[in-house]
Amino acid sequence: MQPTIIAFGASSSRSSINKIFASYTAQLFEAAAVKILDLNDFHAPLYSIDVEQETGIPADVKTFSRYLDSADLIIISLAEHNGSYSAYFKNLLDWTSRYKSKLFDNKKMLLLSTSSGGRGGKSVMEAALVRFPIHGADIVAHFSLPKFQENFDARQGGVVAEDLKQEYEAAVQTTKSALQQ
């Protein structure tokens, strides 16, 4: 049976480099059915317990959760805003965890991050590596790509800096192997 991959950039930017990176990476899994999500399709008010008690869980949060449930593998590329998750993604994460606390449901995950800066989103990656397993993520590999505009070109095979390319390809290969188990 063909595995299902859900992939997205954890940003609401229409030109998100993280969505580009997650989409590119997902396409490397040739034998899988891939669904790329755009977080802008999932609307929810700013989370508060008062809003939840007054209106319940938003329908788009339930839809997002169903997408996660359908996956054999989740690929997320994290955008870093001031050293943490983007506000849009954090809000969706908050709502979804209220709907289903183990929102990643022991799904295998390839966790990516990238930015235009020299750390490549390492601070948000560190936060996710701690937080996501609490919500049931089975993170099989992770990779941070610094200086996206300099180090990534889809027409040139993706990650172009040789040292980073080897590390990236190893993370993808580890994930492919885990997906076959």
Average pLDDT over the chain, rounded to whole?
96
Mean pLDDT, rounded, for 170-175: 98
| pLDDT at position 1 | 81
pLDDT of residue 90 exceeding 90: yes
Q: In this predicted model, what pLDDT tens digit does every residue of 122-170 receive, in sequence order?
A: 999 999 999 999 999 999 999 999 999 999 999 988 999 999 999 999 9
Say how far residue 143 (Cα) sits from the centre of its chain: 11
pLDDT of residue 103 exceeding 90: yes
Give the residues across from 76 on adjacent strands: 8, 111
| pLDDT at position 181 | 84
- Cα dihedral value 36, 124, 85, 64, nearest 10: 30
